[in-house]
């Protein structure tokens, strides 16, 4: 027996629904989809490390504009020949040699030194620019791999969802057959267990997706994003593979070590320039009291590098050792980059064959086997063959998604070696 009229009951139900809607959190909105090229562009525009490198370039450029300039002149004022003992002590007019002086001195480093300083400053600008270019390439490659990881995790989620739909269909068939007496309850329980196992794997995949989104967010700097379903053709590079080996000396990854070699060479030139003497010129004007004539003094100074074997030559030897070290480091980096390039090419080509085998043979075979097993089960066959076929199909799908991710990462390692717009 109801204590409310039908109208009052409907009104109370409406209030309850409004209250529930007010208390419950709003539904989660789907993350915006972003393509690989857009993700790379955003990451390069927003990367703090690239901005830091660009600031270092500006700093090096500012230093280069003042390199090789003459030092600031020095102004001097003072007293000369002031008596400090006897009756005329501290009397500016007592002695005719006493005078107030004002002087100006200009140091003039050797021209070779100033030219070497300018060259070294230019090499440091080049080194800062090389570090910026290398950081830009590292960022492009890293965000591409983060995007590919998220794309692969989403593909795995799609495969799990498709197989889960089939499992739910089979579970429904199993329950119907149990109700009709055609099967035992164990068949329905096995089908339900398969659905629960897939739900558990889907939950794990959602965790993987969130982790991949966080890795991509580290480069984009904004809210979670999803990837677009379409990925680049991972079997095609922006340039012929043979072009990479021929252009290895132009790779941004090698430019910082090459710039260090040039900087070390410029430091040798600067050390050698220290053998050239510096000059200075100074003019002093002296004012005397008592109607005496004022005095003007002019002096020219020159440095005397008298012991180059213990000073300048040792500096040159030290800088030459630094240069040889920079050469060795660059050669090691070049060998390492060449070996890594060959390994990446071999891995990329091998993964292409594996992915092609999955797409042309294994995936169609697994789908046909699962479809045939499901059809046989719906027609009254046993559940176990369908369960085995479903698990095999899922393993093939997940393996294919993982191979695609590996192929994408191998492709990104090669596709982002050279700068953009490289012919």
Domain final residue, candidates 252, 286, 307 = 307
Same domain for 247 and 282? no
231 and 202 together in one domain: yes
CB atoms within 10 A of CB 145: 21
What is the reported pLDDT for 336?
Answer: 94
Q: Dig out the tokens for 87 from the structure.
A: 């009756």
| Same domain as 403, residue 284 | no
Question: Structure pTM?
Answer: 0.78
Q: Is the pLDDT of residue 14 over 80?
A: no
Does 165 share its domain with 130?
Answer: yes
Same domain membership, residue 282 and residue 142: no
Would you state the pLDDT for residue 232? Answer: 87
* 178 domain-assigned: yes
Q: Which residue has the tokens 């009951």?
A: 9
Stated as kind and residue range, the H or E segment containing 227 is: strand 226-227
Percentage, residues of the chain above pLDDT 70: 90
Note the pLDDT of residue 19: 37
291 in a domain, yes or no? Answer: yes
Quick check: is 336 in a domain? yes
User: Which residues form the domain of 283?
Assistant: 73-83+94-108+276-307
Which residue's structure tokens are 């176990």? 384
**For residues 63 and 56, what is the distance between their CA atoms, to the nearest angstrom?**
11
% pLDDT > 90, the chain:
47
The answer to whether residues 382 and 346 belong to one domain is yes
**Which residues 6+ apart lie within 8 Å of 358 measured at CB?**
396, 399, 400, 403
Question: Which CA distances in Å does 123 have to 64, 160, 259, 275?
Answer: 9, 55, 7, 22
What is the largest distance, in Å, between two alpha-carbon atoms of the chain? Answer: 137
Quote the pLDDT of residue 353. 92
Whole-angstrom distance, CA of residue 393 vs CA of residue 298: 97
Q: What is the mean pLDDT of the chain?
A: 85
Tens digit of each residue's pLDDT (9 = 90 or more) over 24-36: 334 334 567 888 9
Strand order in the sheet with 99-108: 74-80, 99-108, 279-287, 295-302
Total of domains in the chain: 2
For the stretch 351-392, pLDDT in tens is 999 889 888 888 888 888 878 887 887 787 777 787 788 788
Q: What are phi and psi of 56, to 5 degrees?
A: -65, -35
201 with 405: CB under 8 angstroms?
Answer: no
The pairing of beta strand 33-34 with beta strand 226-227:
parallel
Q: What is the structure's pLDDT at 414?
A: 92
Better-scored residue on pLDDT, 317 or 170: 317
The pLDDT assigned to 272 comes to 94
| pLDDT bucket at 54, cuts 50 / 70 / 90 | very high
List beta partners, residue 282: 105, 299
Q: Which of the residue ranges 20-34, 90-104, 296-310 would you say has the lowest mean pLDDT?
A: 20-34
Q: β-pairing, 74-80 with 279-287?
A: unpaired
pLDDT value of position 383? 73
Q: How confident is the model at residue 421 (pLDDT cuts 50, 70, 90)?
A: low
Is residue 1 situated within a structural domain? no
115/245 same-domain check:
yes
pLDDT band at 46 (very low <50, low <70, confident <90, very high): confident
Give dist(CA 396, CA 358) in Å, integer: 8
Residue 135 lies inside a defined structural domain of this protein:
yes
Distance CA 348, CA 412 (A): 10
Same domain, 166 and 134: yes
Q: Is the pLDDT of residue 9 over 70?
A: no
Distance CA 405, CA 411 (A): 10
Q: Are 215 and 142 in contact (CB under 8 A)?
A: no
d(CA 48, CA 186) in angstroms, rounded, equals 59
Same domain, residue pair 104 and 57: no
CB atoms closer than 10 angstroms to residue 94: 15
Residue 403's nearest CA partner among 347, 365, 361, 344 is 347
Of 415, 15, 29, 408, residue with least CA distance to 231: 408
DSSP bridge partners of 101: 78, 286
Return the bridge partners of 286, or none: 101, 295
Q: List Cα–Cα distances, 351 to 33, 257, 370, 422, in angstroms.
A: 27, 32, 26, 25
pLDDT digits (tens, 9 = 90+) for 204-245: 999 999 999 899 988 887 756 777 878 888 999 888 888 888
């Amino acid at each position: 027996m109801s204590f409310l009229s039908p109208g009052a009951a409907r009104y109370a139900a409406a209030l309850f629904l409004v209250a529930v809607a007010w208390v419950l959190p709003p539904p989660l909105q789907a993350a915006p989809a972003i393509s690989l090229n857009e993700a790379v562009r955003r990451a390069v525009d927003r990367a703090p490390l690239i901005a830091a490198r660009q600031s270092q370039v500006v700093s090096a450029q500012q230093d280069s504009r003042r390199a090789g300039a003459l030092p600031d002149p020095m102004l001097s004022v003072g007293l000369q020949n002031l008596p400090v003992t006897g009756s005329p002590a501290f009397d500016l007019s007592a002695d005719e040699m006493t005078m107030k002086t004002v002087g100006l001195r200009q140091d003039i480093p050797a021209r070779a030194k100033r030219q070497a300083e300018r060259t070294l400053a230019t090499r440091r600008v080049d080194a800062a620019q090389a570090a910026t270019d290398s950081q830009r390439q590292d960022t492009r490659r890293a965000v591409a791999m983060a995007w590919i990881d998220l794309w692969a995790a989403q593909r795995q989620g799609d495969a799990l969802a498709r197989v889960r739909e089939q499992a739910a269909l089979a579970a429904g068939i199993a329950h119907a057959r149990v109700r009709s007496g055609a099967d035992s309850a164990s068949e329905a329980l096995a089908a339900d267990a398969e659905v629960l196992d897939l739900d558990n794997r889907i939950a794990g995949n959602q965790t993987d997706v969130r982790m991949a989104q966080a890795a991509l967010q580290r480069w984009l700097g904004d809210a979670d994003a999803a990837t677009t379903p379409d990925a680049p053709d991972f079997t095609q590079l922006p340039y012929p593979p043979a072009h990479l080996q021929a252009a290895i000396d132009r790779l941004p990854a090698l430019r910082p070590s090459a710039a260090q070699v040039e900087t070390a060479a410029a430091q040798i030139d600067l050390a050698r320039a220290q053998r050239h003497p510096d000059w200075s010129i100074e003019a002093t004007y002296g004012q005397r009291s008592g109607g005496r004539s004022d005095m003007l003094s002019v002096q020219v100074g020159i440095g005397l590098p008298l012991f180059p074997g213990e000073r300048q030559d040792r500096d040159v030897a030290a800088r030459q050792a630094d240069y040889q070290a920079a050469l060795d480091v660059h050669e090691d980096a070049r060998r390492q980059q060449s070996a890594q390039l060959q390994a990446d090419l071999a891995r990329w080509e091998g993964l292409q064959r594996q992915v092609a085998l999955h797409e042309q043979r294994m995936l169609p075979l697994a789908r046909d086997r699962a479809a045939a097993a499901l059809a046989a089960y719906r027609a009254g066959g046993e559940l176990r063959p369908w369960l085995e076929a479903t698990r095999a199909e899922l393993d093939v799908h997940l393996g294919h998604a993982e191979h695609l991710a590996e192929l994408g990462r191998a492709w990104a390692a090669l596709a982002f070696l050279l700068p953009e717009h490289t012919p």
